[in-house]
Amino acid sequence: MIGLKTSEIHWVVNSYIGVSGGYLGDFTYRSHRDFYPAFCDLNLNPEAYPGTTRERFVAVLSDAEPRYQAAILRGIAVRFPTGSEMQRTPASHRKLLELAKRCDSSEAVAGINPKLSSDVLQRALSDAAILISSEGGPTSAVDRIHTALHAYFKAVCRSESLDTPEGATITQLFKILRQGHPRLRALGNHSETVTKILQSLANVVDSLNPARNRGSMAHPNEHLLDKDDALLTINAAKTVFQYLDAKLG
């Protein structure tokens, strides 16, 4: 997952909140400690870190996972709203919330760049990345990640000249790969264990179909996957991607 860059943390601290005499904004040690549960819904203890309020804030924000960084940034946006100081302009406030949105969206589909690819696959992955950061979030991206994995299976089968039926489903293609690809037939000393894991992944792949068809925006479904369930679906597909691309690429 991709969180805040060092330069972005520096901007939040020095250009948005502001520092004077080692103090961060109008934070005291006590109000800084209370900030995380009161504004971010996080149980974090800045007093676990040494130094001034600025140094502690930087340490907390740097060490936090991206989703916690997003919560902290949104808390900052509430605690230090637009116009509360000269540097907190509407534009800088929007930038703060955009950083938070990006940290939230980095929970899924990060780093997928398969060695074996196709135009359809690259387009689907690009669409998924854009949709995850959109208003619909991961729920809107489930259809695209399903398409990307389907296109990837087709590309691998084609590269190995494996026979596939016309209109083969994502489940059928994964079965053909497991049974026909030489690197999945010879799994080494732990073949029994790995085979069981691959069989479990086959169930995951099969479950992507109803997730897409009945829980995504692929069709006019009334009951959509919520964010957490959509993230689970996307990251499950990502796991299949990463294993097969490393094993077969």
Spans of all domains in the chain: 6-105, 119-248
Say how many C-beta atoms besides its own lie within 10 A of residue 152's C-beta: 28
User: How many whole angstroms separate alpha carbon 96 and alpha carbon 90?
Assistant: 10
Average pLDDT of 187-201?
Answer: 90
Structure confidence at residue 112 (pLDDT) = 64
CA dihedral sign, ordered 161, 163, 166, 171: negative
Average pLDDT of 56-71?
Answer: 92
Note the Cα 230 to chain centre separation in Å: 11
% residues pLDDT > 90 (the chain): 63
- Model confidence pTM above 0.85: no
Residue 184 token pair? 């999945």
Average pLDDT of 46-69?
Answer: 92
% residues pLDDT > 70 (the chain): 92
Say how many C-beta atoms besides its own lie within 10 A of residue 94's C-beta: 12
The DSSP bridge pattern shows strands 23-24 and 19-20 to be: antiparallel
Residue 159: phi and psi, rounded to 5, are -65, -25
Which segment of 51-60, 109-118, 240-249 scores lowest on mean pLDDT? Answer: 109-118
3-state secondary structure of 218: coil
Which segment of 76-80, 122-126, 154-158, 244-248 scores lowest on mean pLDDT? Answer: 122-126
Confidence of residue 204 (pLDDT cuts 50, 70, 90): very high
